[in-house]
Structure 1
Amino acid sequence: MTVTLPAPRPLPEIAAHVDNELAALDARIDWLLALSPIHNDLLWQSFEASGRSAIPELHYPDLPLDLAATRERLHALPVQEVESSLLSALLSEKQRELERQLELIRLRGSRGFINASLDLFGGVEPTLLALAREIMESVPPGAPLPADAGIDEVLQAVNDELAWYRRIAPDLDCEVVVDPDLGSLMMVSHGRFYVDANIRLPRARIQPLVQHEIGTHVLTRHNGGRQPLKQLQVGLAHYDPLQEGLGVLAEYLAGYLPGERLQVLAARVIACDMAIHGKDVPEIFDLLHRVHGMATDDAFDVAVRARRGGGLTKDAVYLRGLRDLIDYLHEDGDLAALYIGKFALTHLVVLEQLIEQGWAVPAQMLPRCLSDAAARQRLQECRSRPVQQLFHKEPCA
């Protein structure tokens, strides 16, 4: 699906300079990879050997980033001199977020990390924790399916999807990286699509995950790259919840969001809450596996993710973002408006002002799955169903 775009208006000189600098700094501050543990197979082996009672210290990639120099460059930006108060507010907000990300990296592995994470991502509010517990108690798992697909089939689906979008937008930029020590099945970071070299998953889950990563993260980055304001490509401050909500929604629209996937999102909220209160991997794993019946690999992955860096609360944004997105759809919100770039739902009013002033234009492309009649019908279902009912017992035909 494509949209004919009006010609955008260039940013004023100082705003453009600050915007470009913030985008360049955003690309350098890869906090997600900096907080992704390495040697994950050895972690599990050690945890299993201990009788699932202890875990070794987490290790992370080396940091090529000079934190002090990067912070100095960030603070030197003339944000207060930006010609438009509207643009200045957005750029100041992003500047503060990047400062918090640097602090998150600096405090990696220290006692102060959890406070930095709470400052950047927030904690777990009672209503979100209640929703997570309800999902864990009431949502059934999907039909058992064999992990019958590996890296070759995944790469074929990824390349086919990218080829489809590039027929519409030949300049769509997305490098595919096969990583033998990723720690996730697949992910997008700074426009690169990473996939685990050892990936095994049910064939029915390939397309939903491809729609999550490419139909959401890659697509919104591309649409954002067509905007005068580069922050819509790299992400305005606090864009994560909406991005992840759209990603999970894409899995549902693609026809297979199994109950255990929704449970994983709920488990991440519970794990984040436990990490905030000082619980470590063994206690989190025990609750998820023994009490809630999660599979060992899922329970261990969720527990380790929650303890990254010393307690990373980012994982609560997946369920929070989905909940807030579904509330937006219940109020007849326009889904197409959410693909202009990467931003928070709270930025929608600001985006309307940017469009009025010519500093933003509608999305060039919408997700491929929205061209499918069955997906559009599922979207209608989402406009009336609560989050805890958004799952499939088996793949849709």
Structure 2
Amino acid sequence: MTGRPVACRPLPPVAAAVDEALLRLDAEIDWLLALNPVDGDRLWAAFDASGRKSLPPLRYLDRPLDLAAARERLLALPVDRIESPLLSALLGEKQRELERQVELVRLRGTDGFIKASLDLFGEVPPALLGLAHEILETVGPGVALEADAGIDEVLEAAQREFDWYRQRCPGFVCEIVVSDDLNSLMMVSHGRFYIDAGIRVPRARIEPLLQHEIGTHIVTRHNGSRQALRQLEAGLAHYDPLQEGLGVLAEYLSGFLPGERLRMLAARVVAVDMAMHRHEAAAIFERLHEAHGLPTDDAFDVTVRALRGGGLSKDAVYLRGLRDLVHYLREGGDFAMLFVGKFALSHRVVLDQLIAEGWVTAPEVLPRYYARLAENDRLDECRTLSVVDLYHEEPEA
């Protein structure tokens, strides 16, 4: 499905103004970058030198944003005067989420941070923790592959990926940023695609990782920007689980989601649960490395991610989102419509109402791997598999 869709009906004036203001505030707050620790090599060296018993305080980039002023502007928005009850409910929900994000950044490094994190992302429910333990106990890491590709090869592949989309959608734009201070191999934040300058990955993982970041996060952002309700560009409230679930599924549909990747998602759930119960870095690292067999670098990375800001529960949404997405597909859910923008699975019925009102239309472009799904039964297979089975022993030919 490509080509410009039918034009959307404009939002009513007050709704359009609030929608645009929320979009600007979302970009200003940018809580994910505000919680990205810097100097990862220094952190590991100090942790290792301590006998892996003590993690130095995490350091972050300075945030020039006046959080109090941002919160004041946010709460001054006339959500109660929005002309449509449907739009008022959606934009009011987003307003409340952004207020919680402001609190999250404001409380970074304090005792109140965990409460703010739980308000945004929730705790780890027993069923999800049980699924994580099942994966760690039953799924092997798979065949060991050499990390034979670096920044030049990854950057070239990313450029080719963007060229493919621009040929189909001239307005498809994204800035690529190569960063020395990134706590991920790749990440997307507010339409920018960040790549770790020191990235080393197996060549077979480049395509799946690009489909996760570009084929999911950038594509849904692009499609959302074409909707009358621009919140679908930045993301309706609580969109993270579906986005990350789609991203991980994209790796599987692209031909290589290794067992170690599924184990990593499970380890993140375990680490988040421990961080929410205020376990220290040494205890989390030991559980992941010694009890669950994660390699040293992976165990440390997951530990630091869970402790961001003082204890960040976001990393549990990857496995939760994948689990919920698999259930949605098993129930016969429409896969293509998940790319109209960024939203939560709980909004799926609401999207039908927005489409009926003319404020949302079909996605302008679908991920590059989508066209290949017609040539195989991989998506149909995903409608029958459990999450525990959703991995590859080795790259598909």
For Structure 1 versus Structure 2, the TM-score category normalised by the shorter chain is over 0.9
Number of aligned residue pairs: give it. Answer: 397
Structure 1 residues 342 and 376: alpha-carbon distance in aligned structure 2, compared to 1, 3 A threshold? farther
Contact in 2 for aligned 1:128/1:320 (Cα 8 Å): yes
- 2:3–2:169 Cα contact (<8 Å) kept: no
Secondary structure (helix, strand or coil) at the match of 2:38 reads coil
Call closer, same or farther: CA 1:376–1:9 in 2, change over 3 Å.
farther
Measured in 1, the distance between the counterparts of 2:3 and 2:320 equals 30
Instruction: Return the letter of the residue paired with 1:105.
Output: V
Q: CA 1:152–1:240 in structure 2 vs 1: closer, same or farther (change >3 Å)?
A: same
Name the CA shift for 1:233/1:373 in 2 (closer, same or farther; >3 Å): closer
Matched residue type, 1:351: L
Is 1:96 the counterpart of 2:101? The answer is no
For residues 279-313 of structure 1, the C-alpha deviation after alignment (integer angstroms, 9 at most, x for no partner) is 01110000000011100000000001001001000
Q: Distance in 2 between matches of 1:252 and 1:219?
A: 17
Equivalent residue, structure 1, for 2:367: 367
Q: Could you tell me which amino acid in structure 2 is paired with residue 173 of structure 1?
A: V
How far, CA to CA, are the matches of 1:37 and 1:373 in structure 2?
A: 38
The residue type equivalent to 1:338 in the other structure is L
The aligned residue for residue 206 of structure 1 is: 206
The one-letter code matched in structure 1 to 2:215 is: G
Alpha-carbon distance between aligned partners in 2 of 1:36 and 1:216, rounded to the nearest angstrom: 21
3-state SS in 2 of match to 1:9: coil
The aligned counterpart of 1:116 is 116
Which one is further off, 364-373 or 190-199?
A: 364-373
Which residue in 2 is equivalent to 1:126?
126
Alignment partners' CA distance in 2, 1:372 and 1:350: 29
What secondary structure is seen at the aligned counterpart in 1 of 2:8? coil
Give the Cα–Cα distance (whole angstroms) in 1 for the partners of residues 238 and 373 of structure 2: 32
Percent same amino acid at aligned positions? 65
Which residue identity is paired with 2:85? S
Aligned to 1:268: 268
Moved over 4 A (4+): 373-376
The aligned amino acid for 1:251 is: E
Query: Is the contact between residue 94 and residue 237 of structure 1 (CA under 8 Å) also seen in structure 2?
Result: yes
Counterpart of 1:293 in structure 2 is 293
Per the alignment, residue 66 of structure 1 pairs with 66
Contact 2:185 2:199 in 1 (8 A): yes
What secondary structure sits across from 1:368 in the alignment?
coil
- Structure 1 residue 365: Cα displacement: 0.8
User: Deviation digits for residues 185-234 of structure 1, max 9, x if unmatched?
Assistant: 00000000000001001000000000000000000000000000110000
Matches within 5 A, 1:4-43: 5-43=5-43
Q: AA paired with 1:163?
A: D
Instruction: Tell me: CA distance 1:278–1:373, structure 2 relative to 1, closer, same or farther (3 Å).
Output: closer
What CA deviation, in whole Å up to 9, does each residue of 1:35-86 have, x standing for no partner? 1111110000000101111111111111111001101100110000000000
1:328 maps to amino acid: Y
Partner amino acid, structure 1, of 2:344: A
Q: After TM superposition, give the deviation of residue 376 of structure 1 in Å.
A: 4.4
For residue 375 of structure 1, report the CA deviation from its aligned partner: 7.1
Deviations 1:320-346 (A, max 9, x none): 000000000001111001000000000
Give the secondary-structure state (helix, strand or coil) at the position aligned to 1:372.
helix
Q: Which residue of 1 aligns with 2:390?
A: 390
| In 1, Cα distance between equivalents of 2:330 and 2:141 | 25
Which residue number in structure 2 is paired with residue 379 of structure 1? Answer: 379
Task: State the SS of the aligned residue for 1:101.
Answer: helix
- Provide the rounded CA distance (Å) in 2 between the counterparts of 1:217 and 1:207: 15
CA distance in 2, matches of 1:224, 1:374: 24
Q: 1:145 is matched with which residue? A: 145
1:176 aligns with 2:188: no
| Cα shift readout 1:227-262 (whole Å, capped 9, x = no counterpart) | 001100000000000000000000000100000000
Q: CA deviation at 1:377?
A: 1.8
Letter in 1 for 2:45: Q
Residue aligned with 1:36, SS: coil
TM-score by length of 2: 0.99
Q: For residues 303 and 382 of structure 1, what CA distance do their matches in structure 2 show? A: 30
Hey, what's the Cα distance between the residues in 2 that align with 1:88 and 1:374? 39
Shift of 1:374: 7.6
Q: Which amino acid letter does the alignment assign opposite residue 320 of structure 1?
A: R
Q: What is the rounded CA distance, in whole Å, between the counterparts of 1:355 and 1:201 in structure 2?
A: 41
Per the alignment, do residues 119 and 376 of structure 1 end up closer, same or farther by CA in structure 2, a change over 3 Å counting? farther
1:337-348 mapped onto 2 (5 Å cutoff) = 337-348=337-348
Aligned-pair Cα RMSD in Å:
0.9
Return the letter of the residue paired with 2:370: L
Distance in 2 between the 1:277 and 1:165 partners? 44
CA distance in 2, matches of 1:56, 1:153: 33
Alpha-carbon distance in structure 2 between the residues aligned to 1:346 and 1:13: 26
Query: Is the alpha carbon distance of 1:217 and 1:375 closer, same or farther for their aligned partners in structure 2, counting shifts above 3 Å?
Result: farther
Q: Find the aligned partners of 2:206 and 2:170 in 1 and give their Cα distance.
A: 24
How far the C-alpha of 1:21 sits from its partner, in A, is 0.2
Asked if the contact 1:3–1:362 (Cα under 8 Å) also holds between the matched residues in 2, the reply is no
- Could you tell me which runs of 5 or more consecutive residues in structure 1 were left unpaired when the two chains were aligned: none
Instruction: Tell me which amino acid in the other structure corresponds to 1:202.
Output: P
Q: Quick one: distance in 2 between partners of 1:266 and 1:3?
A: 38
SS in 1 for 2:377: helix
Deviation at 1:6, TM superposition (A): 1.6
Contact conserved, 1:369 with 1:375, CA < 8 A, in 2? no
Q: 1:51 to 1:174 in 2, by over 3 A?
A: same
Partner of 1:83: 83
* TM-score for both structures, normalised by structure 1: 0.99
